[in-house]
Structure 1
Amino acid sequence: MPRRPALAASFLALSALCVEACAPVAAPPPSSAQQAPRVEVSVVRDGDDWSVDYVLDRDAPAWAFFNSALLRDSRRPWRPDWWTVQTPGVTIERVGDYDVLRSTDGGPVPRRVSIRMRPRPGDLEAAYDPALVFSDGTVALYSEQFDVIPLEAAAAARDLPRDLNGVAVPGGPARVTWRDAAGPVLFKGERRAEVTAVEAETYVLFGEATTRQGDGVTTVVDPGLPRWLGDELAGFTPRVMGYYARRLGPAPGDAPTLMVSWTGPTRSLSSMGGSVLPGMISMSFEGEGVLNPDREALDRAHWFIGHEGAHFWLGQAVRYEYARDMWITEGGADLMAVRALKTLNPAYDARAELQTEVDDCVRLTQGRSVVTAADRGEHRAHYACGAVFAMAAEGAQKARTGGDWFDFIKPLLAQPDGVLTREEWLSALTGVSRDPSLRLGVEQLLDQGAADPAAVVARLFQRTGVAFRMDGGRVVLI
């Protein structure tokens, strides 16, 4: 999920992501790989040419792409510019919140549609980037970008809610085949001549990128990435994952793969993006600001790995119920990362990081709510306010048992259905604090915002023992 846009080289921008990994992937609804009929997709690379061929399973005048997030920097759709339909009478355009494949004459889209694809780097809002592009030409494609939903008309896409979690839609996830004319693709840690899968929830790697094993983590690192950074990431990931396992128990699933791409040494830039999927952490770096070892860049890289690694527990062991509740996993992962880094590196300035969370939460809830932040493109509110609420919960836990954030969250990871709801989180806050009024402050910022959100945050901190002082109306951690 988004963290910050790319900034000048004096800062390191983050765009940590969870979204679909942390939410129940509702669309296209539950199904098995043997279900038929089903949309079939073939993705083939032949040198510099990329083709996507659809075999649709029914007649429909339009098909909406389930994953249709906007580019973060421009807030524009990416498919109409990056994909070119080769089949006559068919086009891709934006309708409402979705990219739509439609016929130009209003009739059914032909059952077979061919598309030419041009993978390129692109940071999406609260969604997995469609491609990770390595400096040597290697490309990793996000597997779920090809799922489509049949519509009665292109205009019907306007009626689809932005959040499809829990929403029944027609059709089902596509069966996708990946093939590279140059040789095998890398799929979930294995090289295969050809792969066919449904709901793979991974990145499929086209190219010769080398992998290395170590300390329970498989790493795939762009050969162009500054060596110091690759070595740090490969070495730090097992350390932070080990710390989480000691505090919360083993992570679900197999040992993770860390995939790191490098866009290049763009001038006056130092940026970072990425995501977590089942069994995989992906990262992308760009900018001259990370060419050489730098304490700020190193701290941000460690923090980023800490945040993404946290999602193997808070995001995959349990997920949020609706996208508007992503503050539970994103803010929680932020605080997990801060506490882990402080433990592993006592010189780390945890207070400065948490002060940024407090400042951003106050700024982004003045007169507006957290639950509507995605509509405004202000996804940062989920991270910042989620971290503020987590700090209050941690304060209550410390006052009650002497524990910390990990002690608060550990019991909540054992949800029988794998979903941690807003109500369950807030009930846990009331249970540990024995103060029913705390949830009222949290709910105010979630649902309404406040004319003076600093005062709301101050009351939360005062009642839970989080140390702070007021300075000209600003909540300052001490």
Structure 2
Amino acid sequence: MAIAPADSPQCSPPQASKTDAGNRDIGEQLMLMKRCLMPSRLLIAGLFVLMFGTWPLGATPAAATPIGKVRVDVRIARDAAHAVVTLDRPVLQFDFEPGDVVRDGVFDMLTPGLTFLGERVTGTTPFRHFELRVRPATREYDAKYPSFYSIGDGGLIFMPALKGNETAWRTQFTIRMQSGQVRAPASGSIAGGYVYVGPAALVSKLPDLVVVADPGTPRWLVDRSQAELATAVRYFTKAMGMKLPRTPVLIVKNIEDGTGFVGDVTPGSVTALRFHGAASGLPTSEINRIQGFVLHEAFHFWNGGVARVAKGTPSWLHEGGADYAALMAGHTSGTLSDADVSQRLADALTNCKSGLESEGNKPLAALSFLSNRVRYPCGMILQWAIDLRIRQASGDRQNILDIWGKVIRAAAKQRETTYSLKDFYAAAGIDDPATFAPVALIVDQGGGDRWETLVTALEAFGADVSTIATPDTRRPALLFHLLEQNCKALPKGASYGFYLNDGVLKLQSPAGCSVLADDPVIKAIEGANPVALSAETYAAVQGKCVSGAGVRLTTGDGRTLVAACTAPLKPAPKGYVVKAWKKSSPA
């Protein structure tokens, strides 16, 4: 999945949940949430094998010799997907394949006498058949694919959600088409990814792209998305030195809840883009990020489709690689200036630092799960460092995209079509990652003193980096300090945060946030501009919190709210400033 790099909603962790939806940690890019709606999450993975076959869909390959066969018959309606599962032998329990997919809360068991929990179907007596209803997803999860969501009077089904555990079962899928329905992709096996089934009227076949647009999606957004994707595919086809084996399929849907956008990529060159709150128009800052969002998704056609990551490969390579490739593509096209690239990298460096600090300053290699707050920004910084090294060693004749092309072409020639982190290091000429300081500092070494050393290492390759407290570092620190102390009675699963779009600051503060509840627009904090939050205003709030006098916030409709604050507000964190992201080329 992928994440766009600016003006993101800021969200807090709800109670007892694992971070899974934020990758921007300071300023508008800071994401301090755990389970809130991803605003700029570009969630992309392409983690399943690319397969070709004939209709109906072929059997999925098994990791070991399975003991049985299972047939899954799927039919799609607007309100749900229905799956009839038939086993070749009676069992007391049946397990689905574990994976990055959401089943809890959307799978309903329709067969009496059977129960479904987690990944397991259980019966009190042996069974060979059962039927499930898969309801449309209603929220986003970090690094997990929705099993199903509606597209007009049809829907998009993630087939691996219905796959039997491959150590025990060989799964065969069949889609039962209803009158008037078509599917996309229209041919080949899609047992490893998304497939649209629904009205033909929602499908547009362009020369180099198939587009499926939900009727609730604004036409301008569909046109912009398909134009950006077509351009991205042409760019990366040339950069990677490989054409895609299938015509890409673009799925576009607008969802009125929330803000921002989310994207997924699955085998067969299918990308599903979900925009939140776009029907009434998007802020200019969000519209400007669509190109980077789509470029990120498009790169996954190659680094997660043509070739795929080997088991055990850290997600920062896959996702950080797509983020940085999108950044370089935008720069090459002239859409992004050197100043734009420098700002994006400064944000990523700040976010990587704060993300790892939130994990106890552990190294990436010590984390069992890399949340969006970590894998995207830290992955981008590692790609940047490797890119600088390649440019320096080649006299600026090569860059990171040359390395990705080499890796993907080599993997595509193999039977398994996979690549590992070791393969990537080898292609980049890094024989021992422990001797390459940026990798050693972020991936293998912990502690808070590594960040100054990292700056020195980046500057050795031509970058110019410094640190300073800015409005973008003060704002989230101050607001989350106040929200944490006032949102003491949140409903289960609720979260808090804030949005900053086109200069308007709005809290995400549900019932349970005391005087800050009901998502007010904040016009002033202690009489000063909360967007251009100065050191003086920050110090004034620090004084109020020490005295326990409460902090005054002025709302957009003129009300004065006095937020409780009795805990000391720590000094404002510093963020990174990248004055030059690479050494200037000779004239």
Task: State the TM-score, normalized to the length of structure 2.
Answer: 0.65
Match of 1:364 in 2: 355
**Which residue of the partner structure matches residue 90 of structure 1?**
114
Q: Give the Å deviation of 1:321.
A: 1.8
Quick one: distance in 2 between partners of 1:178 and 1:369? Answer: 45
3-state DSSP of counterpart to 1:17: coil
Residue 29 (str. 1) matches residue 67 (str. 2): no
Match of 1:188 among 185, 190, 202: 185
1:333: Cα distance to partner? 0.9
Q: Which residue of 2 aligns with 1:389?
A: 382
Within the candidate set 59, 62, 82, 1:51 is matched to 82
Which amino acid is 1:336 matched to?
A: A
Change (3 A) 1:454 1:123: same
Change (3 A) 1:257 1:353: same
Separation in 2, partners of 1:373, 1:206: 41
The equivalent residue for 2:524 is none
Q: Does 1:287 align with 2:281?
A: no
Distance 2:104 2:336 in 1: 47
The match for 1:476 among 577, 581, 584 is 577
Q: Deviations over 1:14-66 (max 9, x none)?
A: 23311514899xx962599xx99520111224675643211123444332222
* Aligned counterpart, 2:95: 64
Match of 1:162 in 2: none
Specify the code of the residue in structure 1 equivalent to 2:69: R
- State the alpha-carbon separation in 1 of the partners of residues 309 and 363 from structure 2: 18
Write the letter of the residue equivalent to 1:307: H
| Structure 1 stretch displaced more, 50-59 or 61-70 | 61-70
Alignment of 1:48-447 (within 5 A): 48=79, 50-69=81-100, 78-94=102-118, 99-103=119-123, 105=124, 108=126, 110-134=127-151, 136-149=152-165, 170-189=167-186, 199-264=191-256, 266=257, 269-288=259-278, 291-292=280-281, 294-347=283-336, 349-366=340-357, 367-371=361-365, 373=367, 375=369, 378-401=371-394, 402=396, 403-415=398-410, 416-417=413-414, 418-431=417-430, 438-439=435-436, 441-447=438-444
Aligned residues of 1:458 and 1:475 also touching (Cα < 8 A): no
Root mean square deviation of aligned Cα: 3.4
Superimposed CA distance per residue, residues 57-107 of structure 1 (whole angstroms, 9 cap, x where no aligned partner): 34443322224547xxxxxxx53432221223311113xxxx22222x3x5
Q: Residue type matched to 1:278 in 2?
A: G
- 1:256 positional shift: 0.8
Q: Contact 1:8/1:270 (CA < 8 Å) preserved in 2? A: no
Distance 1:19 1:224 in 2: 26
Superposition deviation, residue 337 in structure 1: 0.4
Helix, strand or coil: the match of 1:81? coil
Distance (whole Å) between structure 1 residues aligned to residue 80 and residue 374 of structure 2:
40
The reply on whether 1:454 has 2:455 as its aligned counterpart is no
CA distance in 1, matches of 2:216, 2:149: 14
Number of residue pairs the alignment of both structures matches = 429
Please say which structure displays the higher CA radius of gyration: 2
| Identity value in percent | 19
The answer to whether structure 1 residue 7 and structure 2 residue 4 are counterparts is no
Amino acid at match of 2:403: F
SS at match of 1:38: strand
Question: Aligned equivalents of 2:169 and 2:139: distance in 1?
Answer: 26
Please tell me the residue identity of whatever aligns with 2:425.
L
- Structure 2 CA distance for aligned equivalents of residues 253 and 66 of structure 1: 27
Q: Which residue of 2 is the match for residue 40 of structure 1?
A: 71
Q: Contact 1:393/1:405 (CA < 8 Å) preserved in 2?
A: yes
**What secondary structure, in the 3-state scheme, does the structure 1 residue paired with 2:308 have?**
coil
User: What is the distance in 2 between the residues matched to 1:456 and 1:19?
Assistant: 34
Aligned to 2:503: none
Query: SS of 2:349's equivalent?
Result: helix
CA distance in 1, matches of 2:255, 2:128: 37
Letter in 1 for 2:43: A
Residue 22 of structure 1 contacts residue 329 of structure 1 at CA under 8 Å; is this kept in 2? no
In structure 1, stretches of 5+ residues that fail to align are 71-77, 150-168
Q: Which residue pairs with 1:166 in the alignment?
A: none
Residues 202 and 280 of structure 1 are in contact (CA less than 8 Å); yes or no, is this contact kept in structure 2?
Answer: yes
Q: TM-score, normalised by structure 1?
A: 0.79
- Describe the SS at the equivalent of 1:62: strand
Distance 1:55 1:6, change over 3 A: farther
> Is there any run of 5+ residues in structure 2 with no aligned partner, and where?
12-27, 30-38, 52-59, 470-573, 580-587
2:62 and 2:463 map into 1 onto residues whose CA distance is 43
